Structure 1
Amino acid sequence: MKNVDYIIVGDGYAGLFFAHQLIRNNRSFVMFSERQKSASQVSAGIINPVVLKKFTTFWKAQEQIDFLKNTLKEIENYTGQNYLIDAPIHRIFHDENEQVLWLKKSDNDDLSQFLDKNFDRLKVVKNDFLSGKVNQSARLNVNGFFTGLFDFLEKNENLIAEKFIYSDLDAERSTYKNFTFKNILFCEGMGVKHNPFFSDIPVNPNKGHHIKVELSEKIPENITIKKKHFLFPVNDQLYFYGGTYDREQLHQEIDESAVEQLKKGLMEFYPHPFEIKDINFGFRPTVKDRRPIIGRHSDHHNFYVFNGLGARGILNGCYFSKSLYDFIEEGIPLHEEISLERFKNKN
Structure 2
Amino acid sequence: MQNVDYIIVGDGYAALFFAHQLILNNKSFVIFSEGKKSASQISAGIINPVVLKKFTTFWKAQEQIDFLHKTLNEISLYTQENYLIEAPIHRIFHDENEQKLWLNKSNKEELTDFLDQNFTKIEGVKNNFKSGKVNQSARLNVKHFFDGMKHFLIQQNKWIQERFNYHQLDNQENKYREFSFKHIVFCEGMGVKFNPFFAELPVQPNKGHHIRIKLSETLDSNITIKKKHFLFPLDDELYFYGGTYDRDQIHENIDESAVKQLENGLSEFYENEFETKEVHFGFRPTVKDRRPLIGRHSLHENLYVFNGLGARGILNGCFFSKILFDFIDKNYPLTEEIQLNRFQ
For structure 1, the 5+ residue unaligned runs are none
Residues of 2 paired with 1:141 and 1:6: CA distance? 27
1:127-155 deviation per Cα after TM superposition (whole angstroms, max 9, x unaligned): 00000000000000000000000000000
1:163-207 deviation per Cα after TM superposition (whole angstroms, max 9, x unaligned): 101100011111101101000000100000000000000000000
Matches within 5 A, 1:263-302: 263-302=263-302
1:226-279 deviation per Cα after TM superposition (whole angstroms, max 9, x unaligned): 000000000251000000000010010000000000000000000000000100
1:44 lines up with 2:13 in the alignment: no
- Residue 218 of structure 1 corresponds to which residue in structure 2? 218
Residues of 2 paired with 1:159 and 1:50: CA distance? 35
- Residue 114 of structure 2 corresponds to which residue in structure 1? 114
Residues of 2 paired with 1:79 and 1:291: CA distance? 29
Residues of 2 paired with 1:235 and 1:298: CA distance? 45
- For 2:337, give the aligned amino acid: E
- For 2:117, give the aligned amino acid: K
Matches within 5 A, 1:77-226: 77-226=77-226
What displacement does 1:208 show? 0.1
- Residue 10 of structure 2 corresponds to which residue in structure 1? 10
- Residue 257 of structure 1 corresponds to which residue in structure 2? 257
Give the SS at the match of 1:248.
coil
What displacement does 1:36 show? 1.3
- For 1:144, give the aligned amino acid: H
- Residue 229 of structure 2 corresponds to which residue in structure 1? 229
- Residue 63 of structure 1 corresponds to which residue in structure 2? 63
- Residue 76 of structure 1 corresponds to which residue in structure 2? 76
- Residue 27 of structure 2 corresponds to which residue in structure 1? 27
- For 1:273, give the aligned amino acid: E
Moved over 3 A (4+): none
- For 2:276, give the aligned amino acid: I
- For 1:300, give the aligned amino acid: H
Residues of 2 paired with 1:289 and 1:117: CA distance? 30
CA contact (8 A) 1:15 1:187 kept: yes
1:332 lines up with 2:332 in the alignment: yes
1:88-134 deviation per Cα after TM superposition (whole angstroms, max 9, x unaligned): 00000000000000000000000000000000000000000000000
Residues of 2 paired with 1:336 and 1:317: CA distance? 18
- Residue 311 of structure 2 corresponds to which residue in structure 1? 311
- For 1:301, give the aligned amino acid: E
Residues of 1 paired with 2:80 and 2:103: CA distance? 40
Aligned residues: 344
What displacement does 1:341 show? 2.5
CA contact (8 A) 1:116 1:133 kept: yes
Give the SS at the match of 2:225.
strand
What displacement does 1:339 show? 1.1
- For 2:206, give the aligned amino acid: N
The percent of aligned pairs where both chains have the same amino acid is 70
- For 1:172, give the aligned amino acid: Q
Give the SS at the match of 2:276.
strand
Give the SS at the match of 1:225.
strand
CA contact (8 A) 1:91 1:131 kept: yes
Q: TM-score by structure 1 length?
A: 0.99
Residues of 1 paired with 2:266 and 2:184: CA distance? 43
Residues of 2 paired with 1:14 and 1:270: CA distance? 35
Residues of 2 paired with 1:3 and 1:235: CA distance? 40
Residues of 1 paired with 2:314 and 2:15: CA distance? 11
1:54-79 deviation per Cα after TM superposition (whole angstroms, max 9, x unaligned): 00000000000000000000000000
- For 2:258, give the aligned amino acid: A
Residues of 1 paired with 2:336 and 2:323: CA distance? 12
Q: TM-score by structure 2 length?
A: 0.99
Residues of 2 paired with 1:293 and 1:320: CA distance? 10
Residues of 2 paired with 1:91 and 1:33: CA distance? 36
Give the SS at the match of 1:154.
helix
Residues of 1 paired with 2:193 and 2:180: CA distance? 25
- Residue 243 of structure 2 corresponds to which residue in structure 1? 243
Residues of 2 paired with 1:105 and 1:167: CA distance? 53
CA contact (8 A) 1:295 1:341 kept: no
CA contact (8 A) 1:89 1:226 kept: yes
For structure 2, the 5+ residue unaligned runs are none
